[in-house]
Structures are given as structure tokens and as C-alpha cells.
Amino acid sequence: MSEETGNTGVTAERAADDRAARAVTAAEAVLAERFPQAIFAIVAGSILRGEGTETSDIDLVVLYEALPAAWRESFHFDGFPIEAFVHDFETLNWFADQDMAGGCPVLPHMLAGGVAIGPEPVRAEALQAEAQRRLEQGPAPLTPEIRDGLRYQITDLVDDLRDPRPAAEVRAIAAELMRPLADLMLRGRGHWSGRGKWLPRLIRRMDTVLAERFDTALRHAGAGEAADLIRLAEDELAPHGGPLFAGDRRTAPPGARRSGNLAG
């Protein structure tokens, strides 16, 4: 590595550290100005991990002793876009449990990986430790209902890919297939899943060879060539019972009815 390249790397790292420090300072000011009764907050997001871009926002989980209801709000402060997730402990537990039951623990990851600020750091750190403990336990095994729901979604989309169709339609189907296929790849192996850009990151952390195959299949599908994506989906379905269409049935809840103009 040349001296120039090394210096560039050091400069970039220093800039990322400086931006992370400025983000924490901004979050502390936000906590004081907008949420003065809060007991603490957790500052999270890619900026804090040194991975932020110019458009990256600050995730701010704000904790109160008690609130009528949780809320989320977005705003700009000191040049940073900020998403604030405002909770008391009961609402925090409800949303965290929802995330974890769905296999996609966005809120617990914010808590565990963030920086605690505010007047009660000991309580904040205890909350972070518990979130980390729960993440390390991993997700619950796929229930038959969730597993078969993913099988059905993947089967339906793969069947669409088997037919000759324009490249634009292949791309649209591949885009829809990416989420359930990635969920099955991750959760079927006992790993947490994610959303959007986190899906390829999580697959790569789990298995670099599988991640490369996933990326290649999606790139080829983007060019209108679906064969690799079909084979990958078939391979992922196989350990879970294979494709699922015939025999799938889902009953609506009893309350799913109302009167209206659509009547005979």
C-alpha cells in the first residue's frame, strides 16, 4: 500500500469519527431542546458505526417514564436528518417484541448498538445490555405458518419467472422475490433477517459464498435472465419442503367483514 493510499484511509477514518462525534453532540442538543423530560436516549445509525453517507440519518430512541402513546417523528437538526422513536418502557417492549417476533429486530439493534445519552446513563446501559442479550439468543425457529407463507410467496413468484416475459417484468418479479427469499435464507438458518440494504449485508455476514450467489442471481435477473434466480430459490426451498401451491389455505379472521356497496 502506498503512503498516499494509507494517508487517504486515515483521513477518511478520521472524518467518519468526527462526523460520529458531531452526531452525538447534535443528538444531545435535540434531547435537551425537544425532549427535556426524557430520562435518556440511545443514538444509533450508520453514522455512529462509521459507515454513514452524506444522506444518512441519525436514529434516536427517546425514553420517558410514561407516555400516553409512542410516536415517531422526523426532522432536521444541525445539518443532520433525524428520526426520533419516542417511547416509554411499555411501548418500547411492545414494538421490540413485534420486531423480534417478525424476525427483523430493527429496534433492538438500535438499542444494543447505539450510544447512550441523557441524565440516567445507568438505566440506559442496562437496557442496552438486555437488548444485546436478546439479540444473541437469535430468532425463534420458523413456525410452520411463517415457513409455509414464505414457501408460497417464493413459489408463486418463481412460477412467474419460468414463463417467457420482457426483461422489465423479470426485474419487477425479482425485486418482489428478493425479500421473502432472503428471509428464508436467513431465518431458515437460524439468523435474524432485516430490511432493504440490510438483507445482502446480513447474508454476507452469514455466508460469503451464498451472498455472492444471491447477488449474481439478482444481477442476472436485472438483465432479464432469470435462470440463476430460479435455481437459487429452488435450492433454498428444498430443505423446507420444496415449492408450495396446492394445499395452501389461509382462513380470514372472523372480524374481517363489513357491509357496503359491494352487494348483490
242 three-state secondary structure:
coil
- pLDDT of 187 > 80? The answer is yes
- pLDDT of 126 > 70? The answer is yes
The 10s digit of each residue's pLDDT in 230-255 is 999 999 999 999 999 999 998 999 99
Confidence class for position 15, pLDDT limits 50, 70, 90:
confident
pLDDT recorded at residue 3? 56
Residues 81 and 74 sit within 8 Å (Cβ to Cβ): yes
Q: What angle do CA 216, 217, 221 make, to 5 degrees?
A: 115
Instruction: Tell me the three cell numbers of residue 125.
Output: 446501559
- Checking DSSP bridges between strand 80-88 and strand 115-117, what pairing results, if any? unpaired
Query: Which residue(s) pair with 44 in the sheet?
Result: 59
Confidence class for position 54, pLDDT limits 50, 70, 90:
confident
Query: Which residue(s) pair with 74 in the sheet?
Result: 83
Q: Which domains does the chain have, with CATH numbers?
A: 12-137 (3.30.460.10), 144-240 (1.20.120)
